[in-house]
């Protein structure tokens, strides 16, 4: 059941309502974008920030740009480290943080000046340990992405129970990316992001939500500019770790969700089917063993998804196609990838 809050975000400028927010920015070879990202954080109307920039072994000019930024903003600290991946960089940032609240920002994105103010004031007023937006405003290089700078244009938040939020995430009504929110530090636990895996956000967010009773949602995408890059990690060509990640993350999610929320078993099956479907679509035909392993996992979930009227239409269609066999499903995935429908 969704509970609608009548509280609108305020300025968050009163000292008693200004806890320290640590903004963690992992950086890896984004020299074209990182300055715009960091400047947008520095320009936030919410001023009580600690900015931790993790230069994760960049081989371009990203590290130098980050150092120059830190010289201009005394709230910023730059850590240069050997490449350990997004999960490792985020975990390191959490360990170094001093804030009561944590926010993760991707270094190729940028923010409206009211982004942190909106989320932290929402969290405080609704007494929610997590406050999120459903997604960012997507754009590609060469496009102009205009964000709102007016707090008056931000709608009042909706307060969801943790179970309702889990359901909405599993059915992909909301995205699981961790950069879409602010989190009380304790909700994340220690080293929450799994090392060496894709889908680290999917593996992390539902566990954080399980620790709390409610989440505040602000239905406004126009305060976070989300850059769509063809060379981003999740859009890169197939690597065996993608299949390993899909199998491990979906197995963990299914086991824990079904244990914690038995009534969400069908929703968990839908999400697990989706992540394995996306990976199957990328696996080269010659990778027969890997294809067969993921195929068996899809068959495990397909009956549940097929009869689940709350599952996304694309998942139910895909589940139906699996009944025709692996080769018709392979053709279906190829066509859907070509027209951009496999997300």
Name beta bridge partners: 336.
Answer: none
Element (H, E) at 227: strand 224-228
Q: For the purposes of burial, counting CB atoms within 10 Å of the CB of 155, is it exposed (0-12), middle (13-18) or buried (19 or more)? A: exposed
Confidence at 340, pLDDT banded by 50, 70, 90:
low
CATH 3.90.550.10 fits 2-228, yes or no: yes
For the chain, count helices (H), then strands (E).
12, 12
Tens digits of per-residue pLDDT, 146-194? Answer: 999 999 999 999 999 999 999 999 999 999 999 999 999 999 999 999 9
The rounded distance, in Å, linking the Cα atoms of 75 and 6 is: 34
Chain mean pLDDT for the chain: 92
User: Does 292 have pLDDT greater than 90?
Assistant: yes
Mean pLDDT over residues 213-234, rounded?
A: 87
What is the C-alpha separation between 34 and 42, in angstroms, rounded?
12
Q: Are 130 and 162 spatial neighbours (Cβ–Cβ below 8 Å)? A: no
Model confidence at 9, pLDDT cuts 50, 70, 90, reads very low
Determine the Cα–Cα distance for residues 4 and 270; give it in Å rounded to an integer: 27
Read off the pLDDT of residues 81-126 as tens digits, 9 standing for 90 and up: 999 999 999 999 999 999 999 999 999 999 999 999 999 999 999 9
Helices (H), the chain: 34-42, 62-72, 85-96, 115-126, 162-170, 185-188, 200-210, 240-260, 265-280, 288-306, 313-322, 326-338
- Inter-axis angle of helices 288-306 and 240-260, nearest 10: 30
Contacts of 136 (CB under 8 A, 6+ apart): 109, 179, 180, 221, 224, 225, 226
Q: Is the pLDDT of residue 231 over 90?
A: no
| Percent of the chain residues topping a pLDDT of 70 | 92
- pLDDT score, position 234: 47
Contact 109, 225 (CB under 8 A): yes
The SS3 assignment for 54 reads strand
pLDDT of 301 strictly over 70? yes
What are the tokens at 332?
């279906």
Confidence of residue 236 (pLDDT cuts 50, 70, 90): low
In the three-class reduction of DSSP (H, G, I as helix; E, B as strand; rest coil), residue 132 is classed as: strand
Q: What is the mean pLDDT of residues 7-31?
A: 73
Q: Where are the domains of the chain?
A: 2-228, 237-338
Gap between the Cα atoms of 311 and 308, Å rounded = 5
Q: Which of 82, 117, 294 is nearest to 302 (CA)?
A: 294
Supply 50's token pair.
């600690």
Q: How far is CA 75 from CA 21, 22, 43, 49, 52, in A?
A: 11, 10, 12, 7, 8
Q: Could you give the angle at which helices 62-72 and 34-42 cross, rounded to 10 degrees?
A: 20
pLDDT grade for 10, boundaries at 50, 70 and 90: very low
Strands (E), 148-197: 158-161, 181-184
Distance, in Å, from the CA atom of 263 to the CA atom of 271, rounded to the nearest integer, reads 14
Burial of 230: CB neighbours in 10 Å, binned 0-12, 13-18, 19+:
exposed
CB 120 within 8 A of CB 19: yes
- Give residue 141's pLDDT: 84
Task: Name the more confident of 13 and 24.
Answer: 24
């Amino acid at each position: 059941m969704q509970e609608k809050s009548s509280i609108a975000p305020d300025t968050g400028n009163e000292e008693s309502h200004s806890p320290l927010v640590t903004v963690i920015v992992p950086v890896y070879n984004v020299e074209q974008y990182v300055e715009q990202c960091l400047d947008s954080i520095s320009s936030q109307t919410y001023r009580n920030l600690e900015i931790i920039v993790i230069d994760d072994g960049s081989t371009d000019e990203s590290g130098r740009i980050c150092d120059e930024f830190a010289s201009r903003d005394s709230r910023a600290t730059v850590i240069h480290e050997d490449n350990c991946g997004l999960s490792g960089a985020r975990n390191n940032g959490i360990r170094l943080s001093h804030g009561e609240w944590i926010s993760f920002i991707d270094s190729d994105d940028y923010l409206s000046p009211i982004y942190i103010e909106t989320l932290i004031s929402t969290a405080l007023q609704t007494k929610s340990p997590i406050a999120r937006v459903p997604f960012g405003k997507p754009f590609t290089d060469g496009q102009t992405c205009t964000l709102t700078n007016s707090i008056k244009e931000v709608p009042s938040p909706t307060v969801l129970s943790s179970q309702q939020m889990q359901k909405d995430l599993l059915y992909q009504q909301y995205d699981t990316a961790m950069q879409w929110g602010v989190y009380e530090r304790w909700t994340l636990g220690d080293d929450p992001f799994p090392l060496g895996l894709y889908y680290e956000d999917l593996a992390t967010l539902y566990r954080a939500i399980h620790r709390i009773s409610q989440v505040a949602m602000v239905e406004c995408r126009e305060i976070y500019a989300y850059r769509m890059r063809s060379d981003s990690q999740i859009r890169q060509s197939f690597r065996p770790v993608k299949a390993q990640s899909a199998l491990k993350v979906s197995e963990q999610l299914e086991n824990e969700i079904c244990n914690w929320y038995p009534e969400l078993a069908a929703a968990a099956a839908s999400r697990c089917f989706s992540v394995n479907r996306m990976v199957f679509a990328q696996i080269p035909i010659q990778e027969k063993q890997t294809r067969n392993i993921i195929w068996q996992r899809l068959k495990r979930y397909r009956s549940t998804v097929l009869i689940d009227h709350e599952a996304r239409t694309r998942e139910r269609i895909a589940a139906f196609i699996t009944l025709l066999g692996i080769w018709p499903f392979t053709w279906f995935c190829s066509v859907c990838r070509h027209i951009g429908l496999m997300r």
